[in-house]
Chains A and B, each alone.
Chain A
Amino acid sequence: MKHRLVIIGNGMATGRLLQQLTERAPDLFDITVFGEEPGGSYNRVLLSPLLGNELKRDKVVTLRPEWYAEQGIALYCNDPVIQIDRTHKQVISQQHKHIYYDTLIIATGSHPLPIPVPGRTLTGVMSFRTLRDVEQMQQLAAKHSHAVVIGGGFLGLEAAEGLRLLGMDVTVVHRGEFLLNKQLDQSAADLLLGSLKSRGIQFRLNAETEAIEGQQRVASVLLRSGETLPADIVITAIGVLPNTALAQEAGLAVERGILVNDRMQTSDPDIFAFGECCQFDAFTYGLVAPIWQQAETLISNLLGHPLRYQEEAVATQLKISGIELFSCGDLRDTEETDTLIYRDIKLNEYRKLWLKDNRLVGAVLYGDVREGQWYFEQLKAHNDLSACRQQLLFGSPFCAQHIQTQNMGIASMTTNSSKRQLVVVGNGMVGHHFIENFVASEAAGDYEIHVLAEESRGAYDRVHLSEYFGGSSYQDLCLIEDNFYEQHGVQLHLSEGATQIDRDTKQVITEQGVYPYDTLVLATGSYPFVPPIPGNDGEACFVYRTLEDLDKIQICAESSDVGVVIGGGLLGLEAANALKSLGLKAHVVEFAPRLMPVQLDQDGGALLKSKIESLDVDVHCNKATTEIVAGETHRYRMNFSDGSYLETDLILFSAGIRPQDTLARGCDLAVGERGGITVDDQCRTSDKNIYAIGECALWNNQIFGLVAPGYTMAKTAAAAIGGTEQAFTGADMSTKLKLLGVDVGSIGDAHGKTPGSISYRYLDEDEQVYYRIVVSEDRSTLLGAVLVGDNSKYDTLLQYALNGIELPDKPQSLILPSLDGAAAPALGPDALPDEATICSCLNVTKGQICYAIDAGANSAADVKDATKAASGCGGCAAMLKSVVDNELSKRGVEVDTALCEHFSYTREELYHIIRVEGIRSFSDLLDKHGKGLGCEICKPAAGSILASCWNEHIQEKPLVSLQDTNDTFMANMQKNGTYSIVPRVAGGEITPDKLIVLGQVAKRYNLYTKITGGQRVDLFGAQLHELPLIWKELVDAGFETGHAYGKSLRTVKSCVGSTWCRYGVNDSTGMAIQLENRYKGLRAPHKIKFAVSGCTRECAEAQSKDIGVIATENGWNLYVCGNGGMKPRHADLFATDLDDQTLIRYIDRVLMFYIKTADRLQRTSVWMDNLEGGLDYLKEVVIDDKLELADELEAQMQHVVGTYQCEWRSTLEDEEKLKRFRTFVNTDEQVDPQIVHIIERDQIRPL
């Protein structure tokens, strides 16, 4: 039996909850909803425009009753729950329904505070809260003329404005000194008052209501001042109270609201409460944003994810009769705060900011509120704003450069309110690419941009979705660079999908508000097609499109053994791989006679099938599923039309996509017969103010399901809106990818459908490769190609096809293997025309690459930065490099790889020489392979290599002169010539006794102490001759050198992990100590930092380290080549769920391979970025042992590990070595008199 979920209340909060829950976990719960009002859930925020007839009623209702039925939710309208029977876990309704629950959710909302004066029950006295209230008000307004609104808060003013629009004379009676006294300061309130008065609303401020008078019907309102106001209708709006009566009677803990914890749980663990009825800490709620967050928290906890609710500051943004107001924070003038005020009487604008210690604590904006969000962010971030105090009142365009060092060029400096409104619906890959392009255009400054996103997370890389199961997180897949939207003033509204477009009023309507547009861009993408097979709606039937889908699949996979993917296309095979990675036996069922029927021909498909089957994924082609029924050995049985069947626990539909054009249909935009929003060459729809891009757009009767054409459309639309026309002219649908480790490529007319075309095919069943090329009738041009098992020829073939380059005499030579040693005629970069597209994702041509080189780019990496080429799928990286290298050499730029003037070798070559020839000293190396005396470049490089290879003490006679001063004296030189000392504290774990020793030593030698980022203690200010004395004490107390001075392993940072932390899943500290002790002293091309986190919360920040290890339920995930510092780089996920031994083996290999191949002073991050073949190549070397190096690398590491010695300990034992630690060799006087320290914050520092 399904888990029974009963929800009391059917307001906005419940509506939100139901929508999210049914989307994320359909069929998981048996849901019953009780509502007090008739009908489905509606958007209370929109009641005001409804009242004033600014909006139609159907736009207010978010969930129609039929929707509940479609979702299988039992909805009882007009039937409030009157009792919660916790003993029997049931609720009892007014109409005597008894419904049992496993989990109960109370969302009873709030009710208007009754006004404590006589006459409040007279007819015509009412509140403004429900649809019914609105109807009544409208009816009364039609017959009467005098209205009194009691309460000058937001709701009161909205009611007043609505009634005014209905033609009534309205007077607002308000107790406070000024309107909206919770949200505004007096000046802003006065401005508002003036505006509303000028529209004809009257006000009585500082006014108390004495009584409401009349016989049965209301006739007037008597004020304490003695004044009588005529009234045919009285609206009371003096506040709301949480509805707690039910909960209180049931014995739940209640204060002002129903008390909940941070999982929204009441004092009964089976009962939850959220929305306006609940109380968390001291807070109760009335605004939408925190309630949405509560809904999210609640759903997550229902689905077993322990998400916790956190109170966050909220800003209020209001619009009253067209006047916009924004406020956030604390608006009180106190002695500690100072204020900035700006007022423009002509424009009727006002701003006031409250600052405390140069940090924003409150803000009120009146009129122009566009900067509100930015102020709110500054407030939440506690940013120090002293640098831009002068400009602060003018908002982000004037301040951003003072605050953000990476100012991305906020184009607009205008603050006039003439900005046009651009709304983008959808924040997928294409929608995001549009924003990137548009904000870079000149026109961006003229627009205020709103992005409405249905998903709760910003744009992410859907192409690499399956890596989510490999351990990549949303952050890894996220496409939006930090603060990118904020910096460009783009307002991203997450979890706020558009529900309607009103083309007449040019508005986009969401559940939470209305967005007017001048220009609208639809980037709504597509939805997966689920074939109409009976039984396709089972709870273990999924699609594969969003991170939420993946979350659900992952949960279901835990209780499954077998998974079937219906659909053998590109995405289907990816999905099969994903199932396999989740530990399921995977099957692929394809309707067509072969896999990837669109891209591959019969032979290609057959080869792919056999390769994939050899990877233990079963492929069933030519199978039409007729029904999904209950299985015998597994959850389901799929019956096929040929009478056969297959049993499985989980089914994934990947049978193609359909354009998501619902919004467009709803507002009568032209759409194609089979779906898709019709667009022209500029991506404009049938409405010239609306554009459509990506998978939802239909161009020339084609839908494009790939990223590259989507990106081109995004660019085209951005240009068109910016006023520069460029045309979308279709796209090349060629694809190159690796499916389950198998190379597959398809170019152009892969099936040879062009009349007269002929094909050449090569099939090698031994090597498991298949090539086919399709050429034109006259054999001059390449029309298409199919590649399976090897994509090395793809780039060349694609260039032939795209650029119409004339084929060689014997076209088959392009795909035939070179048996006699003659290489196949690869297409050199010189043969490509300037217009040849090198990167088709970002549409970068060879011409643009040449231009970047002429503009100063000096390497493939420079060109990548300048043009973004190879930053999409990355498939063109090798091609890019060969073009760049070729162009550089054509320009006479010799890429000088010599280490320095003394050695004409790269570091990698020197490493090889030293290893192979067994060279053990610099003089030997110089004699045999170099010249001169050496220098500060080659000496430390050689010293480091010698140490990596032979690991002799760095102060041995032949080696000591090679070391930098830090290595020479085994301490870090500071600016005044003194040194700092860092003993090793492996994993950051230290006993109190050792801590005391550090303190004692520091005190004795008067050293400045500071905690480092690597979880140890740095002692500063030691003079040269003091180093041995200090180290003697440290070594005696059991400390070892920390190698903070070396290009070597520094620290392994860790969190406490499972030993202490309630979230930890493995002993991260133990692993950190083990790793630190293993690799300590390892000398490398540059310093190396590690971290180990005990769970995915990642408290040790392992993903910013050269080697990062994160504990999982099943072992360790290994990340490599991250960096913090100057150029941060997220580490790449290298391998998942490793046991201890494998983890260490892989780290051995990765590090030794780095030491073997990196440049001098090249951190692992840069090394990775420059490694040809990148992460995949490194995996092949380390995991697959492609170079057959693994044993050697491990042995080399074992040598280093086995020969470790604490350099300081051995130095202290050697008089000869200690001689170096003399400030002067010729006197007993050792103190350098010129070193002077002063005291600051009770410690020394250099003068």
Chain B
Amino acid sequence: MTTNPKASWTKVCGKDDLVPHSGVAALIQNQQVALFYIPGFEEEVFAVGNHDPFSGANIIARGLIGDRQGEPMVASPLYKQHFSLKSGLCFEDNEVNLPVWPIRLKGHVVEILQS
């Protein structure tokens, strides 16, 4: 993931819109993004694609999250594949990955880096 010089941090929603230890979905420039919030973890917020490549449905935000060997992950609620929240990579099939976006908490605002 290289930083695009043209990219800029944009507000997505408030911190209150996030659900601790769980996910919500946002629509950003016609793209569905799943946002996850793990309070107290080394990185607290994550943004990955909401589109599940296995089922074709937009439901990643509704998956359960946790960790696999310390790597934060989300489990697809339909067919239960696991994806890394950091890299978007699928644990079960390394040819599949979700898109990821840099994301940060700035005070009470959730910001995403987009081009």
Which A residues fall within an 8 A CB radius of B?
901-902, 932-936, 938-940, 957, 960-962, 964-966, 968-969, 973, 975-977, 1219-1220, 1222-1227, 1229, 1232, 1234-1235
Are B65 and A973 in contact (CB-based, < 8 A)? no
* Cβ-defined partner of B67 (8 Å) among A935, A962, A969, A1234: A935
With A1220-B19, A1226-B13 known to touch, is A936 a contact of B59 (CB < 8 Å)? no
Are B26 and A939 in contact (CB-based, < 8 A)? no
CB-defined A-B contacts under 8 Å, sample of 19? A901-B69, A933-B72, A935-B67, A936-B75, A960-B19, A962-B64, A964-B64, A973-B62, A975-B78, A976-B56, A977-B57, A1223-B25, A1224-B32, A1225-B13, A1225-B17, A1225-B18, A1232-B32, A1232-B58, A1235-B57
- Which residue, of A932, A961, A1220, has the highest number of chain B Cβ atoms within 10 A? A961
Residues on A with C-beta less than 8 A from B12 are 1225-1226
7 extra interchain contacts, Cβ-Cβ under 8 A, other than A960-B22, A976-B57, A1226-B12? A932-B70, A961-B20, A973-B77, A973-B78, A977-B78, A1226-B27, A1227-B27
With A1225-B24, A1226-B17 known to touch, is A932 a contact of B67 (CB < 8 Å)? yes
Nearest residue (CB) in A for B66 is: A935
State the Cβ distance, B39 to closest chain A Cβ, in Å.
10
B38 within 8 A of A: yes
State the Cβ distance, B106 to closest chain A Cβ, in Å.
15
In the A-B complex, the 5 residue pairs with the smallest Cβ-Cβ separation, listed nearest first, are A977-B57, A961-B21, A935-B66, A965-B77, A936-B75
Which residues of B21-70 are within 8 A (CB) of A? 21-22, 24-28, 32, 35, 38, 41, 55-59, 62-70
Residues on B with C-beta less than 8 A from A933 are 21, 38, 41, 65-67, 72
Residues on B with C-beta less than 8 A from A1232 are 32, 58
With A961-B19, A965-B77 known to touch, is A1225 a contact of B25 (CB < 8 Å)? yes
Nearest residue (CB) in B for A966 is: B77
Residues on B with C-beta less than 8 A from A932 are 66-67, 70
State the Cβ distance, A461 to closest chain B Cβ, in Å.
41
Are A936 and B67 in contact (CB-based, < 8 A)? no
With A973-B77, A973-B78, A1232-B58 known to touch, is A936 a contact of B63 (CB < 8 Å)? yes
* Cβ-defined partner of A936 (8 Å) among B19, B26, B80: B80
Residues on B with C-beta less than 8 A from A966 are 77
Are B26 and A1225 in contact (CB-based, < 8 A)? yes
With A973-B77, A1226-B13 known to touch, is A965 a contact of B66 (CB < 8 Å)? no
Residues on B with C-beta less than 8 A from A1220 are 19, 24
A-side binding surface: helix, strand, loop or mixed? loop
- A-B pair count, CB < 8 Å, reads 100
Residues on A with C-beta less than 8 A from B80 are 936
Give the docked Cα–Cα distance between A934 and B12 (Å): 27
Are B58 and A977 in contact (CB-based, < 8 A)? yes
Give the docked Cα–Cα distance between A938 and B75 (Å): 13
Give the docked Cα–Cα distance between A966 and B72 (Å): 22
State the Cβ distance, A198 to closest chain B Cβ, in Å.
68
Which B residues fall within an 8 A CB radius of A?
12-13, 17-22, 24-28, 32, 35, 38, 41, 55-59, 62-70, 72-73, 75, 77-78, 80, 82
Give the docked Cα–Cα distance between A1235 and B51 (Å): 12
State the Cβ distance, B47 to closest chain A Cβ, in Å.
12
Nearest residue (CB) in A for B37 is: A961
State the Cβ distance, B34 to closest chain A Cβ, in Å.
11
Residues on A with C-beta less than 8 A from B72 are 933
- Which residue, of A935, A1219, A1220, has the highest number of chain B Cβ atoms within 10 A? A935
Nearest residue (CB) in B for A977 is: B57
Nearest residue (CB) in B for A975 is: B55
Are B27 and A1229 in contact (CB-based, < 8 A)? yes
Give the docked Cα–Cα distance between A300 and B13 (Å): 77
Nearest residue (CB) in B for A1234 is: B58
Give the docked Cα–Cα distance between A1222 and B28 (Å): 15
Give the docked Cα–Cα distance between A487 and B35 (Å): 55
Give the docked Cα–Cα distance between A957 and B24 (Å): 15
* Cβ-defined partner of B64 (8 Å) among A902, A935, A976: A935
Are B26 and A1224 in contact (CB-based, < 8 A)? yes
Residues on B with C-beta less than 8 A from A965 are 59, 62-64, 77
Give the docked Cα–Cα distance between A977 and B57 (Å): 5
With A933-B66, A961-B19 known to touch, is A1222 a contact of B75 (CB < 8 Å)? no
State the Cβ distance, A1161 to closest chain B Cβ, in Å.
12
Residues on A with C-beta less than 8 A from B17 are 1219, 1225-1226
State the Cβ distance, B52 to closest chain A Cβ, in Å.
8
Are B59 and A977 in contact (CB-based, < 8 A)? yes
Residues on A with C-beta less than 8 A from B32 are 1224, 1232
- Which residue, of A939, A975, A977, A1219, has the highest number of chain B Cβ atoms within 10 A? A977
Nearest residue (CB) in A for B21 is: A961
State the Cβ distance, A955 to closest chain B Cβ, in Å.
10
State the Cβ distance, B65 to closest chain A Cβ, in Å.
7
Residues on B with C-beta less than 8 A from A938 are 66
Are B27 and A957 in contact (CB-based, < 8 A)? no
Nearest residue (CB) in B for A932 is: B67
State the Cβ distance, B37 to closest chain A Cβ, in Å.
9
Are A939 and B66 in contact (CB-based, < 8 A)? yes
Give the docked Cα–Cα distance between A90 and B75 (Å): 83
Are B67 and A934 in contact (CB-based, < 8 A)? yes
Residues on B with C-beta less than 8 A from A1223 are 25
Residues on B with C-beta less than 8 A from A1226 are 12-13, 17, 26-28
Residues on B with C-beta less than 8 A from A940 are 64
Are B27 and A1224 in contact (CB-based, < 8 A)? yes
* Cβ-defined partner of B59 (8 Å) among A902, A961, A973, A1224: A973
State the Cβ distance, B53 to closest chain A Cβ, in Å.
13
State the Cβ distance, B82 to closest chain A Cβ, in Å.
8
Are A902 and B66 in contact (CB-based, < 8 A)? yes
State the Cβ distance, B31 to closest chain A Cβ, in Å.
11
State the Cβ distance, A947 to closest chain B Cβ, in Å.
16
Residues on A with C-beta less than 8 A from B58 are 977, 1232, 1234-1235
State the Cβ distance, B55 to closest chain A Cβ, in Å.
6
Give the docked Cα–Cα distance between A960 and B64 (Å): 10
* Cβ-defined partner of A975 (8 Å) among B19, B57, B70: B57
With A961-B21, A1226-B12 known to touch, is A968 a contact of B66 (CB < 8 Å)? no
Nearest residue (CB) in A for B22 is: A961
Are B78 and A957 in contact (CB-based, < 8 A)? no
* Cβ-defined partner of A1222 (8 Å) among B24, B56, B66, B77: B24
* Cβ-defined partner of B66 (8 Å) among A936, A964, A977: A936
With A933-B38, A936-B66, A965-B63 known to touch, is A1224 a contact of B25 (CB < 8 Å)? yes
Residues on B with C-beta less than 8 A from A1222 are 24
Residues on B with C-beta less than 8 A from A902 are 66-67
Give the docked Cα–Cα distance between A962 and B24 (Å): 15
Are B77 and A901 in contact (CB-based, < 8 A)? no
- Which residue, of B32, B69, B80, has the highest number of chain A Cβ atoms within 10 A? B32
Are B75 and A935 in contact (CB-based, < 8 A)? yes
With A1220-B19, A1225-B13 known to touch, is A934 a contact of B66 (CB < 8 Å)? yes
Are A964 and B26 in contact (CB-based, < 8 A)? no
State the Cβ distance, B89 to closest chain A Cβ, in Å.
17
Give the docked Cα–Cα distance between A1234 and B63 (Å): 19
Give the docked Cα–Cα distance between A565 and B55 (Å): 67
Residues on A with C-beta less than 8 A from B57 are 975-977, 1234-1235
Residues on B with C-beta less than 8 A from A973 are 59, 62, 77-78
State the Cβ distance, A970 to closest chain B Cβ, in Å.
12
Give the docked Cα–Cα distance between A130 and B22 (Å): 87
Give the docked Cα–Cα distance between A46 and B22 (Å): 81
Nearest residue (CB) in A for B16 is: A1219
Give the docked Cα–Cα distance between A961 and B58 (Å): 19
Residues on B with C-beta less than 8 A from A1229 are 27
Residues on A with C-beta less than 8 A from B62 are 965, 968-969, 973
State the Cβ distance, B56 to closest chain A Cβ, in Å.
8
Give the docked Cα–Cα distance between A962 and B21 (Å): 8
Residues on A with C-beta less than 8 A from B35 are 1225
Residues on A with C-beta less than 8 A from B19 are 960-961, 1220
Nearest residue (CB) in B for A902 is: B66
